[in-house]
Amino acid sequence: MNAEPVTRPIRTTCPYCGVGCGVLATPLADGGLAIAGDPDHPANRGRLCVKGSALGETLGLGGRLLRPQIGGQAAEWDDALDLVARRFQDTIAQHGPDSVAFYVSGQLLTEDYYVANKLMKGFIGSANIDTNSRLCMASSVAGHKRAFGSDTVPGLYEDFETADLVVLVGSNLAWCHPVLYQRLAAARDARGTRVVVVDPRRTATCDIADLHLALSPGADAALFNLLLAEIERRGLIAPDFTAHVEGIEAALAAARETPPFSTGLPHADLRRFLDLWTGSEKVVTVYSQGINQSDSGTDKVNAILNCHLATGRIGRPGMGPFSVTGQPNAMGGREVGGLANMLACHLEIENPAHRAVVQGFWAAPRMADRPGLKAVDMFRALEEGRIKALWIICTNPAVSMPEADRVARAIAGCEFTVVSDIMAQTDTTRLADVLLPATGWGEKDGTVTNSERRISRQRRSLAAPGEARDDWRIIADVARRMGWAEAFGWDSPAQVFAEYAALSGVAGALGGDFDISDHADIPEPDYDAMEPFLWPQSAGRRGGRFFHDGRFHTPSGRGRMIAIRPPVRRAADAALPFVLNTGRVRDHWHTMTRTGRAPRLSRHMAEPFLELHPQDAARLQLAPASLAEVESPQGRAVLRVLVTDRVAPGHPFAPIHWTGETGPTGRVSALVPGLTDPVSGQPASKSAAVAIRPFPAGWYGFAVSTREIGRAGDYWAQATLAAGQQAELAWRDAPQDWVAQAQALFGLDYEPLAMRDRSRGLVRLAFVRDGLLEAALFVSPEPVAVSRSHLADALGTTETADILAGRPGAGREDEGALVCACFGIGANRIAREIAAQNLRTIDEIGECSGAGTNCGSCRPELRRLLERACTAAGA
Binding residues among 171-210 for ligand MGD as defined by CB under 6 A: 171-172, 175-176, 198-201, 203
Least Cβ distance, residue 511 to Mo ion (angstroms): 30
Ramachandran angles phi, psi of 775, nearest 5°: -165, 160
Query: Does 16 engage in binding with ligand SF4 (CB under 6 A)?
Result: yes
Nearest CB to Mo ion, comparing residues 402 and 512: 402
Least Cβ distance, residue 24 to ligand SF4 (angstroms): 12
Nearest CB to Mo ion, comparing residues 312 and 338: 338
Least Cβ distance, residue 45 to ligand SF4 (angstroms): 11
Nearest CB to ligand MGD, comparing residues 586 and 764: 586
Q: Which residues, 6+ apart, have CB-to-CB distance to 277 below 8 Å? A: 165, 167, 196, 227, 230, 283, 307
CB 387 within 8 A of CB 357: no
CA distance 196 to 417: 46
- Of 167, 119, 130, nearest to 285 by C-alpha is 167
Nearest CB to ligand MGD, comparing residues 92 and 399: 399
Query: Does 51 engage in binding with ligand SF4 (CB under 6 A)?
Result: yes
Query: Does 14 engage in binding with ligand SF4 (CB under 6 A)?
Result: yes
Angle between the N-to-C axes of helices 220-233 and 248-256, in degrees from 0 to 180, rounded to the nearest 10: 110
Query: Does 21 engage in binding with ligand SF4 (CB under 6 A)?
Result: yes
Least Cβ distance, residue 646 to ligand MGD (angstroms): 9
Given 13, 26, 99, 107, the residue binding ligand MGD (CB under 6 A): 107
Query: Does 22 engage in binding with ligand MGD (CB under 6 A)?
Result: no
CA distance 801 to 43: 50
Q: Which residues, 6+ apart, have CB-to-CB distance to 256 below 8 Å? A: 229, 232
The bridge status of strand 100-104 relative to strand 73-74 is unpaired
Q: Give bridge partners of residue 835 from the DSSP assignment.
A: none
Ramachandran angles phi, psi of 189, nearest 5°: -60, -40
Choose from Mo ion, ligand SF4, ligand MGD, none: what does 14 bind? Cβ within 5-8 Å by kind.
ligand SF4
Choose from ligand SF4, ligand MGD, Mo ion, none: what does 41 bind? Cβ within 5-8 Å by kind.
none
Binding residues among 439-498 for ligand MGD as defined by CB under 6 A: 440, 471
Query: Does 682 engage in binding with ligand MGD (CB under 6 A)?
Result: no
Which helix (DSSP H) or strand (DSSP E) does residue 701 occupy?
strand 699-705
Nearest CB to Mo ion, comparing residues 421 and 861: 421
Query: With contacts defined by CB under 6 A, how many residues of the chain interact with ligand SF4?
Result: 14
CA distance 338 to 328: 14
Buried b (16+ CB within 10 A) or exposed e, 235-265: ebbbeebbebbbbbeebbebbeebeeebbbb
CA distance 330 to 105: 8
Pattern 416-445, binding to ligand SF4, x per CB under 6 A? ------------------------------
What is the residue-wise DSSP string for 645-698? TTS-TT--EEES---TTT-GGG-GGGGS---B-TTT--B-TT-EEEEEEE---S
Query: Does 170 engage in binding with ligand MGD (CB under 6 A)?
Result: yes
Peptide bond into 536 cis (omega under 30): yes
- Of 158, 155, 167, nearest to 195 by C-alpha is 167
CA distance 33 to 30: 9
Query: Does 536 engage in binding with ligand MGD (CB under 6 A)?
Result: no
Given 374, 686, 788, 829, the residue binding ligand MGD (CB under 6 A): 686
Query: Does 590 engage in binding with ligand MGD (CB under 6 A)?
Result: yes
Given 130, 151, 220, 230, the residue binding ligand MGD (CB under 6 A): 220
CA distance 46 to 43: 9
Least Cβ distance, residue 55 to ligand SF4 (angstroms): 8
Nearest CB to ligand MGD, comparing residues 199 and 445: 199
Please identify, among the stretches 340-348, 616-624, 668-676, 812-820, the one whose residues bind ligand MGD according to the rule CB under 6 A: 668-676
CA 232 to chain centre: 37
Least Cβ distance, residue 50 to Mo ion (angstroms): 19
Binding residues among 176-195 for ligand SF4 as defined by CB under 6 A: 177-179
CA distance 519 to 395: 29
Choose from ligand MGD, ligand SF4, Mo ion, none: what does 207 bind? Cβ within 5-8 Å by kind.
none
Closest residue to ligand SF4: CB criterion: 52
Q: Which residues, 6+ apart, have CB-to-CB distance to 191 below 8 Å? A: none
Please identify, among the stretches 164-172, 366-374, 625-633, 785-793, the one whose residues bind ligand MGD according to the rule CB under 6 A: 164-172
Least Cβ distance, residue 137 to Mo ion (angstroms): 7
Q: Which residues, 6+ apart, have CB-to-CB distance to 411 below 8 Å? A: 379, 382, 390, 392, 397, 398, 417, 428, 431
Query: Does 328 engage in binding with ligand MGD (CB under 6 A)?
Result: no
726: left (phi over 0), alpha (psi -120 to 50) or beta: beta
Query: Does 720 engage in binding with ligand MGD (CB under 6 A)?
Result: no
Query: Does 856 engage in binding with ligand SF4 (CB under 6 A)?
Result: no
Least Cβ distance, residue 17 to ligand SF4 (angstroms): 3
Please identify, among the stretches 9-17, 262-270, 641-649, 767-775, the one whose residues bind ligand SF4 according to the rule CB under 6 A: 9-17
CA distance 420 to 427: 13
Q: Give bridge partners of residue 693 from the DSSP assignment.
A: 629
Pattern 545-584, binding to ligand MGD, x per CB under 6 A? ------------------------------------xxxx
Helix (H, G, I), strand (E, B) or coil at 181: helix
Tell whether the torsion through CA atoms of 370, 374, 377 and 380 is positive or negative.
positive
Binding residues among 29-48 for ligand SF4 as defined by CB under 6 A: 44, 48
Cα angle: 679, vertex 682, 684; to 5 degrees? 115
Query: Does 289 engage in binding with ligand MGD (CB under 6 A)?
Result: yes
CB 376 within 8 A of CB 683: yes
Nearest CB to ligand MGD, comparing residues 421 and 513: 421
Query: Does 669 engage in binding with ligand MGD (CB under 6 A)?
Result: yes
Binding residues for ligand SF4, rule: CB under 6 A, are: 14, 16-17, 19-21, 44, 48-49, 51-52, 177-179
List residues binding ligand MGD (CB under 6 A): 17, 105, 107, 132, 135-136, 169-172, 175-176, 198-201, 203, 217-218, 220, 288-290, 293, 326-327, 393-397, 399-400, 420-423, 426, 438, 440, 471, 581-584, 586, 588-591, 593, 656, 668-669, 672, 685-686
